[in-house]
A and B are shown apart, each in its own frame.
Chain A
Amino acid sequence: MVTCQAQDWNGLSPNPARMADIPDRIVLRRHLELRSWAFFRPIRYALLGLIGTFLVLGLFNVYGQNPQTITATSAKADLELYAPDRVRGGLLYEARFTITAHQKLNHVVLRLQSGWAESQQMNTIEPSPIAQTSRNGDLLFTLGAIAKGQKYTLYIEFQVNPTNVGRRSADVALYEGSERILTIERMLKVFP
């Protein structure tokens, strides 16, 4: 019969005296009574709580994808932007720009700050603008004329490059010719 008195290898506490037939390396105080920091449950609960919190935050759109509506108003026109301001790498999403003219606009230009194009694929722009150009790194879309009381909606489909992580300024400005009518200031946050 083998007794297990000498199980103090590598810091394991020995078993009580006269304890026979205990498997090697099993220490009752530790593996039966579970008196060890390794069995300290609050650590496990804290980690589970951390994971749960992460998931709940995801449900509340903290990590993006859900679109937000931002509206800017002026005497000449309104601009409504419907797009997510928090996205993740690889995500496909749509940005919708709706312009409502309160008076006839002859030469409408939509200006998107460079953050819109930075490491993002622009898959589709519908309807196609009359002209597209760049000014100081920003994108300019010439949309043409909009009659009084009419709405013009521009759809742009994006895909976020996976390496595009961080915050970028993605303002939108509406021009009538060279006159700036209104601006929507926003930040685009890209999660990994």
Chain B
Amino acid sequence: MDIVFRAVFIFFVLYLLMRIIGRRELSSLEPFDLILLVVLGDAVQQGLTQDDYSLTGALLAIGTIAMLQLGVSYANFRFPRLRPLLDGEPIVVVRDGKPIERNLRRERVTLDDLTSAMRQQNIAHIGEVQWAVMETSGAISFIKKSGSS
């Protein structure tokens, strides 16, 4: 039974951690981030199943996490007022070709990061961008100015 409690505890701790470390860390998956992800998974597993090598234990752990994830996504869908808490809010980082320094700084996004994301969207100059919005996933979406090719 305690494996279910451990899974619930770890789920909410991880959820909280992911929310407070910020979306920049979530969006960029550099090689080092990938290694960190594996290390994190290993550390979590130790605390979650501990010395339980049973199939039942594994099913309890993943079943609990799956149900919690379902519950969180349902709460996110059903209760709009919870969305800022559960998912966060998008942030405008460029408006009418001008970067919003305060918002970029808040999310620890440099101009280099921004222009790199622009290039990946085939946008060469920031002047072509009407709006750039950092989404809750950490990805930056760009809306070009009317008339920009």
Contacts and interface: CB of A to CB of B under 8 A. Distances in A.
B16 A31 contact: no
Contacts of A89: 50
B4 interface: no
A183 B50 CA distance: 35
Contacts of A32: 91-92, 95, 100, 103
Contacts of B46: 90
Interface string A27-41: 010111010111100
A162 B95 contact: no
Given A31-B89, A31-B90, A31-B92, A23 B131 contact: yes
A65 to B, nearest CB: 15
Contacts of B146: 21
A56 interface: no
Contacts of A30: 89
Contact of B92 (A21, A28, A48, A192): A28
Nearest to B22: A44
A21 B133 CA distance: 14
A162 B91 CA distance: 44
A41 to B, nearest CB: 8
Nearest to A10: B80
A163 interface: yes
A31 B134 CA distance: 10
Contacts of A130: none
B137 interface: no
A23 B131 CA distance: 8
Contacts of B6: 192
Contacts of A36: 84, 89
Contacts of A11: 80-81
A158 to B, nearest CB: 15
Given A11-B81, A26-B92, A34 B131 contact: no
B133 A31 contact: yes
Contacts of B43: none
Contacts of B143: 23
B130 interface: yes
A59 interface: no
Contact of B51 (A22, A51, A90): A90
B71 to A, nearest CB: 20
A131 interface: no
Given A31-B91, A38-B89, A162-B51, 14 more contacts: A11-B81, A21-B131, A23-B131, A26-B131, A30-B89, A31-B89, A31-B90, A32-B92, A32-B103, A34-B102, A37-B84, A38-B85, A90-B46, A90-B50
Interface of B: 2, 6, 16-17, 20, 46, 50-52, 80-81, 84-85, 88-92, 95, 100, 102-103, 106, 130-131, 133, 143, 146
